[in-house]
Structure 1
Amino acid sequence: MEDYAAKMALKPDAALREYVTGHAQYREEAVLAALNELRQRGQPAPEDATLRPQLEAVVAKAQADADALAAEAPETDVADLPRLYSPAGIVVVSATISVVAGAILLALNLYRLKKGNVIIWLVAFVIAYVIGRALLLKWMIAHHLFSPWTAPLIDLPVIIAYVWWFWPRYIGTYQFQPRNWLLPLGIFMLVIFVVLLLNPGTAQQLKEQIEQQMQQP
């Protein structure tokens, strides 16, 4: 009602009269607001005494029905909401560790929602990306186009796909109990640390290979 009142306050007298004379075409709240505005301007409509009781009754009934419907609507208990890793957590893990790690969190969400068939599509998507990424990086290194910012930029579309495609399409809800994504982040970092500790020459070897390929004419 307040919105209609503000709207009618900006209209000229002729437009307000149109709401009253053509009341069958408009919402009851709008016509009632027009009657109120005309009365405030000292130009009450001749139809006011006839129309107002009808309109007020309709508006009151609609409000009562809306209140009753809202009261009957079951409130979702927080305990009944699924425990999921949030989109923000998936983005942080994907950007910090790798998009494969982010895909694992997303797959765990899908598993909890019993959408195992979607996990297959997610795995296929990630495998295709990893292969395409490796080929693209190899081509960029061979053509001296590689830079430290290349890999994060290549990962960006995949991260966006997680939160703007997979989440709204297959998770389908933003009402959930957020799971702590710091724990899996720590686990992923620990795994990487252990791998590097057991294979100290791996990172250096990879760096040397990239430098050699970039130095080739």
Structure 2
Amino acid sequence: MEDYAAKMAGKPDAELQRYLDRRAEYREEAVLAALTELERRGHVVPGVAALRPELEAAARVAASAAPPAAPSWARAEEPEEPEAADNGPALYSPGTIAILSVLSYPVGAVLMLLNLLRLRRYGGAALLLALSVVMFSAHLWLLFNLGLNPNVVGLCSNIAAALIYVFVLWPYFIGARTYQARSWLPPLIITFALVLLLMMLAQSMGVPMPGLK
């Protein structure tokens, strides 16, 4: 079995952090060794209380499912642990999320949610859902209680959401990583359909919509 602890001891901090950020692309034993080495160096790893048991359980399952090792004389030289997939996971880019959020922040929320779920950032996904509920409630409260212009309220909500998605949630839960940019065309079509649906819903709830009698 490969000595991951010794291997991680010779890697810089940034590379060890990459094992944690992109752990879906590595063996659980390698990620666990990277986590242990970061802690040994005095680094504080967010969410370690939940992450370590998860990695240890996955490593035990992988070890129990592994076939018996062949004798050393019968084994070919083991390849190096792959650094990562060539292009990384397929994600919607920050630019796509920002542009579509300015058009309709619920669409930006859906794209960010898909990114977080793909990367198994479940804490970020839960935070995003809670934030979306708060923003939608605040949006309706401003319209019904203050009588503000719905265009102004909608634009401000969209811009605020875009800034939060790109400059808060993305850096904290996704960070700097290699990824494949997913196509923006399907979400754009969904955006226009959703905007139309929200306009019809708002009209049915009595929210004043410019140009609609």
Percent of aligned positions that are identical: 30
Match of 1:165 in 2: 168
Output the TM-score relative to the length of structure 2: 0.52
1:90 maps onto 2:93 in alignment: no
- Contact 2:97 2:111 survives alignment (8 Å): yes
Higher Cα Rg: structure 1 or 2?
A: 1
Match of 2:149 in 1: 146
SS in 2 for 1:149: helix
Match of 1:114 in 2: 120
Structure 2 distance, partners of 1:111, 1:178, is 16
Match of 2:39 in 1: none
Deviations 1:52-73 (A, max 9, x none): xxxxxxxxxxxxxxxxxxxxxx
Unmatched 5+ residue regions in structure 2? 1-81
Could you say if the C-alpha distance between residues 130 and 201 of structure 1 is closer, same or farther in structure 2, counting changes exceeding 3 Å? Answer: closer
Match of 1:179 in 2: 182
Q: Quote the offset at 1:147 in angstroms.
A: 6.0
Deviations 1:175-207 (A, max 9, x none): 2110112112113324555x59xxx9767656x
In structure 1, what residue type is equivalent to 2:184?
W
Deviations 1:4-32 (A, max 9, x none): xxxxxxxxxxxxxxxxxxxxxxxxxxxxx
Residues 1-217 of structure 1 aligned to structure 2 (within 5 Å) = 77-79=85-87, 81-96=88-103, 98-141=104-147, 145-146=148-149, 148-190=151-193, 195=197, 210=208
Could you say if the C-alpha distance between residues 135 and 201 of structure 1 is closer, same or farther in structure 2, counting changes exceeding 3 Å? Answer: closer
Structure 1 distance, partners of 2:193, 2:200, is 18
Unmatched 5+ residue regions in structure 1? 1-73, 212-217
Could you say if the C-alpha distance between residues 184 and 154 of structure 1 is closer, same or farther in structure 2, counting changes exceeding 3 Å? Answer: closer
Please, what is the CA RMSD of the aligned residues? Answer: 3.1
Structure 2 distance, partners of 1:177, 1:201, is 35
Would you say how many aligned residue pairs link Structure 1 and Structure 2? 130
Could you say if the C-alpha distance between residues 127 and 86 of structure 1 is closer, same or farther in structure 2, counting changes exceeding 3 Å? Answer: same
